[in-house]
Structure 1
């Protein structure tokens, strides 16, 4: 057979373009059918077949995120995931890259706070070989010493470079101030102190322990048939042995505000985070909080950015995961405007707790959230991500159909209730990276200087 890797790469690029540009609007919004099965080795398999494009996406979500990092070995989950692509028992990293390029395939591996993901996107005609390489990377990584050490050094350099950027500094300082103990108190990538301690043997042990089928979810999306699943996928997956997964019970501990951290830097604009403890993804108030957070974010933009021109950027969000995360408002402003901008942010939080939102704000938020959710169906990668998340957080296979109605069921009273329950402008964790003298924060008695006052 004549090989044309360049032609295959161009075809795959065309497929991606068609996915993003060529699908009709209703295709991105239609709820795709999903089949779920649990294999004998306890691997959860989710399949969504769609045959308009000759492309298949396989994504494995492994419950092996940074929350499992041992104390003193922060970054272990991250380096284990990235190390999967550094070579296998039969392929060097270079050979693996070359074969994937020939196949016109993309293979990625990464780790987040909760779980690690390994994703393959491959043309349908090369699915057989793509599955082989996908499972080889998952089950037979070599973790070569030289490649792993180089990867650790590169990650240390990246983390250290981030420490020189004010936005990364303020975000990290906020997390250090808020999280006293628990799964989310350290960077996913690790720290300059913890990373050099990691060893090849540690990565091998972490992989051997957690990269097991009974600790994973495999999502298959795209141009694949029932017969291909039975013939090409299931026999290979069945050979992957289950293992005993250690039980871990972590209890997040959060600092109680008010608490202020001020970091003096020679910068022209202040970088600010104000927030407090948040919720976990499984909280039943998730939908009302999503609506409330969107409305609050819109009000912050209007009041602080559009109306007064104080900020370059402002947003609010809840970090959601297996465990409770953080609520935060993130903003940037001129040093001289820092105090005013923070006071306004706290006032907007307080107003959310005191005054019911308008019907117009409520409906606008619902339309946005539902529209954004449906847009996830427009790409295979987006759908694979969503299905893996739905399974991991045990939301139910019908979640894709239920989500719009769950959002639309939120009332103005619900928004007020969750604002009062989950927003705490009276006791925030406040972190400021700024030229403190220009910001008026260098004088005794001016720190902590911010309080919410009135609606």
Structure 2
């Protein structure tokens, strides 16, 4: 719920199956779903937002957050197993990503083709993905097909097959994606930045692996990852739709009850980015250079995270009113797009800025961005900028809740960020409470942000590095 936009990372393929049928027909009722979701943010006086979110604990002790709504006969379930690609073997990155891609490629006594056919016949959407800190999954289904959907999910997480045919097919797709990404400036910049910032740490390894590591992944790696990481102790669940708390409690045990009680996770150390104060140039024959600038930020649990979030919005978080937009694009025409954003990973907080500009204007763009970073830290924003930021950030919050899937995703992220079940109630008030003194204080804490690790991909003139 940080509002963060994570650095570029595409996946080898969409991790999951999406089918039309009855769900496509239900999409015609989108306006009803929007009304249902926005009701979370505009409760009647007699019913607060928090009372719409019920904490459900199954008979077996599995916890989920539920928004029970019967506006449409649909159920959206989002879940995460904490751990993710940070649990990959140091010498074989990409295991978590490949394993997540394969969870819907057959399970139990159903090979991939039969598993996919059952999903399609019942118009069930099933999706898995791996990030640095978690493996996520989602199910969307018509209420009438929930038993089948939940049973297929149960098989996928408790009895994945990792059949040779499926492994080789998905491996080939992942390698093809890596080859494409090897010539994409944004992808190169992100990979290079994290590798330079976090040497000898799991965050420095590519989530999807490398052209050298992915061919080395075998079924033993995949099975070991699933056995160690898919467990009840590191599981978080959010559900929105046509299911009661009592029914959900039973289904939680049915889906996840057979998982191991405890995950066997390798400890991951908290970390700070290295290489600050340096510029790394990656030569690439393109007409525009892609710039990725990163530095130290705040953890999501830090009491100053919300003031830092507001400060970032003023610097580069808004497409049209931010300082970076005005100075880099409007005043000088250096780039079409320029932005800044926060990233709150489990073991580090980061602050990024980025742009793409003509090779011959890259050095000038970097100079202006650095000056704006320093200026907002040294001088802080104006009251007008603060008022405008508050109005935008509070007014746009409802847009994160315009479908049942988005609502479930937000509830899951709130759990991951450990913000509390009442966060939706409190969030806008936290932003409204931010003062100029708060921004000055957090700017002082972020003074080190004036020293950055910069990665430039292209053929910039007037820059050197490596």
Q: TM-score, normalised by structure 2?
A: 0.87
- For 2:37 and 2:350, the matched residues in 1 are separated by 38
> 1:292, 1:415 within 8 Å by CA — same for their partners in 2?
yes
Deviation (angstroms), 1:429:
1.2
- For 1:292 and 1:34, the matched residues in 2 are separated by 30
Note closer, same or farther for the CA distance 1:38–1:358 as it changes in structure 2 (3 Å cut).
Answer: same
> 1:262, 1:433 within 8 Å by CA — same for their partners in 2?
yes
Note closer, same or farther for the CA distance 1:235–1:261 as it changes in structure 2 (3 Å cut).
Answer: closer
My pick for the range that moved more, 78-87 or 23-32, is 23-32
- Aligned partner of 1:47 in structure 2 is 66
> 2:377, 2:446 within 8 Å by CA — same for their partners in 1?
no
> 1:43, 1:215 within 8 Å by CA — same for their partners in 2?
no
Kindly name which structure, 1 or 2, has the bigger radius of gyration based on alpha carbons.
Answer: 1
- Aligned partner of 2:462 in structure 1 is 440
> 2:125, 2:140 within 8 Å by CA — same for their partners in 1?
yes
- For 1:203 and 1:24, the matched residues in 2 are separated by 37
My pick for the range that moved more, 235-244 or 267-276, is 235-244
Is 1:324 equivalent to 2:338 in the alignment?
Answer: no
Is 1:94 equivalent to 2:108 in the alignment?
Answer: no
Is 1:420 equivalent to 2:444 in the alignment?
Answer: yes
- Aligned partner of 2:3 in structure 1 is none
Deviation (angstroms), 1:230:
4.8
My pick for the range that moved more, 24-33 or 392-401, is 24-33
- Aligned partner of 1:358 in structure 2 is 382
- Aligned partner of 1:389 in structure 2 is 413
Secondary structure class of the residue paired with 1:280:
coil
- Aligned partner of 1:406 in structure 2 is 430
- For 2:29 and 2:91, the matched residues in 1 are separated by 44
Note closer, same or farther for the CA distance 1:417–1:227 as it changes in structure 2 (3 Å cut).
Answer: closer
> 1:174, 1:273 within 8 Å by CA — same for their partners in 2?
yes
Is 1:116 equivalent to 2:158 in the alignment?
Answer: no
Question: Where do 4+ consecutive residues of structure 1 move more than 6 Å?
Answer: none
> 1:39, 1:238 within 8 Å by CA — same for their partners in 2?
no
What is the 5 A alignment of 1:4-403? 8-16=22-30, 18-20=32-34, 26=39, 29-30=42-43, 31=49, 33-39=52-58, 41-230=60-249, 232-246=251-265, 248-297=267-316, 298-403=322-427
Deviation (angstroms), 1:253:
4.5
- For 1:167 and 1:6, the matched residues in 2 are separated by 32
Note closer, same or farther for the CA distance 1:13–1:75 as it changes in structure 2 (3 Å cut).
Answer: same
Deviation (angstroms), 1:41:
4.8
> 1:29, 1:374 within 8 Å by CA — same for their partners in 2?
no
- For 2:349 and 2:148, the matched residues in 1 are separated by 40
- For 1:343 and 1:7, the matched residues in 2 are separated by 53
- Aligned partner of 1:451 in structure 2 is none
> 2:32, 2:71 within 8 Å by CA — same for their partners in 1?
no
Secondary structure class of the residue paired with 1:180:
coil
> 1:175, 1:185 within 8 Å by CA — same for their partners in 2?
yes
Deviation (angstroms), 1:370:
2.3
Deviation (angstroms), 1:233:
4.7
- For 1:303 and 1:102, the matched residues in 2 are separated by 54
Note closer, same or farther for the CA distance 1:247–1:332 as it changes in structure 2 (3 Å cut).
Answer: closer
Deviation (angstroms), 1:284:
1.9
Note closer, same or farther for the CA distance 1:236–1:295 as it changes in structure 2 (3 Å cut).
Answer: closer
- Aligned partner of 1:452 in structure 2 is none
Deviation (angstroms), 1:165:
1.3
Deviation (angstroms), 1:309:
0.9
- For 1:336 and 1:29, the matched residues in 2 are separated by 50
- For 1:380 and 1:146, the matched residues in 2 are separated by 35
- For 1:177 and 1:234, the matched residues in 2 are separated by 43
Structure 1 residue ranges without an equivalent (≥5) = 442-446, 449-455
- For 1:211 and 1:76, the matched residues in 2 are separated by 14
Q: Per-residue displacement from partner, 1:335-363 (whole Å, max 9, x unpaired)?
A: 12111111100110111012231222112
- For 2:302 and 2:416, the matched residues in 1 are separated by 14
My pick for the range that moved more, 382-391 or 41-50, is 41-50
Note closer, same or farther for the CA distance 1:241–1:435 as it changes in structure 2 (3 Å cut).
Answer: closer
Note closer, same or farther for the CA distance 1:205–1:40 as it changes in structure 2 (3 Å cut).
Answer: farther
- For 2:281 and 2:59, the matched residues in 1 are separated by 54
> 2:90, 2:202 within 8 Å by CA — same for their partners in 1?
no
Please, what is the CA RMSD of the aligned residues?
2.3
- For 1:356 and 1:253, the matched residues in 2 are separated by 24
